């Protein structure tokens, strides 16, 4: 089976510091891979290298077998790599609906249309409203994104990713800072994605119960290097994970 996404020896150095150290890993379509590791392990940086926000010092990224290492972030996004950010990253003064509609519009390839009125493209708005419904934000559609409470901003962040309909979904701590009753909405969305067999999901998450339940596979990053890779139960039980990551997290 061809891999949906693959990184070969992916490396980035900031001065003398190696933030991501020769990570080789391949992701099959239809699987959810959790990426765990202590803070500063390079998880978000690894994401940035895949989605193109950072350029790798060495190594390659392949999407569906094609080398995309030289492509920019917007080009990778158009090819099907979708990214939700750890620190909420919205269009603060635009409405909640517009935040999503812009993602729908990008997918529809309408960005360079100068002569039509944006609101005449009803289908885009309808689609954005559908996505808004899935994260239960319909009532707040006309609010400025910056006026949303933190939990809702996290939901909007995920909704934007959904609206892009990528092949590869990258969630960077999607439930961070959410209240307990808000978390299930996000988890349901991710579960829903898993049922679509062709989607590849990468998830950075600290909550081990979430990781255990959702993931088909766990990889562990430590000091930028891939230190463990396998079935969830097996990885969680491995000594290196107990020491490098879980020991710290469980103690909290």
Q: Which candidate, 44, 67, 40, places its Cα nearest to that of 54?
A: 44
Q: Is 75 in the site for another protein (CB under 8 A)?
A: yes
Is position 83 an interface residue for another protein (rule: CB under 8 A)? yes
| Contact window for another protein (CB under 8 A) among 35-43, 57-65, 104-112, 206-214 | 104-112
Is position 127 an interface residue for another protein (rule: CB under 8 A)? Answer: no
What DSSP string describes 5-58? EEEEEEEEEETTEEEEEEEEEEE-TT-EEEEE--TTSSHHHHHHHHHTSS--SE
Nearest-approach distance from CB 55 to another protein, in angstroms: 13
d(CA 168, CA 162): 11
Shortest approach of another protein to residue 208 CB, angstroms? 28
**Does the footprint of another protein cover residue 126 (CB under 8 A)?**
no
Pairing relationship of beta strands 58-63 and 66-67 according to DSSP bridges: antiparallel
Q: Which of 78, 176, 183, 208 binds another protein (CB under 8 A)?
A: 78
Work out which of 60, 64, 121, 207 binds another protein, going by CB under 8 A: 121
Integer Cα distance of 22 and 12 in angstroms: 8
Distances (CA, A) of 164 to 77, 128, 206: 8, 10, 25
Residue closest to 129 by CA, chosen among 143, 120, 117, 139: 139
Residue number with CB closer to another protein (66 or 116): 116
Regarding 39 and contact with another protein (CB under 8 A), the answer is no
* Residue the block writes with tokens 């990885």: 235
Among 7, 11, 44, 105, the residue binding another protein under the rule CB under 8 A is 105
Are the C-beta atoms of 158 and 186 separated by less than 8 Å?
Answer: yes
- CB 135, min distance to another protein, A: 17
Residues that bind another protein (CB under 8 A): 51, 53, 72-75, 77-78, 83, 85, 89-94, 98, 101-103, 105-107, 110-121, 160, 164
């Amino acid at each position: 089976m061809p891999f949906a996404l693959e990184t070969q020896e992916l490396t980035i150095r900031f001065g003398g510091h190696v933030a991501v150290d020769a990570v080789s890993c391949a992701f099959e379509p239809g699987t959810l891979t959790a990426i765990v590791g202590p803070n500063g392990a390079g998880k978000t940086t690894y994401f940035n290298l895949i989605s193109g926000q950072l350029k790798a010092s060495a190594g390659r990224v392949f999407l569906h077998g094609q080398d995309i290492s030289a492509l920019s972030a917007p080009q990778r996004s158009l090819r099907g790599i979708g990214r939700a950010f750890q620190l909420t990253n919205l269009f603060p003064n635009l409405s909640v609906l517009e935040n999503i509609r812009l993602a729908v519009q990008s997918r529809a390839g309408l960005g360079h249309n100068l002569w039509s009125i944006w609101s005449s493209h009803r289908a885009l708005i309808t689609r954005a409203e559908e996505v808004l419904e899935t994260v239960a934000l319909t009532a707040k559609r006309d609010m400025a994104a910056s006026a949303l409470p933190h939990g809702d901003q996290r939901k909007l962040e995920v909704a934007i990713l959904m609206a892009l309909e990528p092949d590869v979904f990258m969630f960077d701590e999607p439930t961070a800072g959410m209240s307990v009753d808000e978390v299930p909405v996000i988890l349901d969305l991710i579960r829903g994605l898993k049922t679509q067999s062709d989607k590849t999901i990468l998830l950075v998450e600290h909550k081990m119960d979430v990781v255990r339940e959702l993931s088909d596979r766990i990889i562990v990053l430590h000091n930028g290097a891939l230190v463990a890779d396998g079935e969830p139960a097996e990885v969680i039980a491995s000594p290196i994970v107990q020491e490098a990551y879980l020991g710290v997290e469980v103690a909290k």
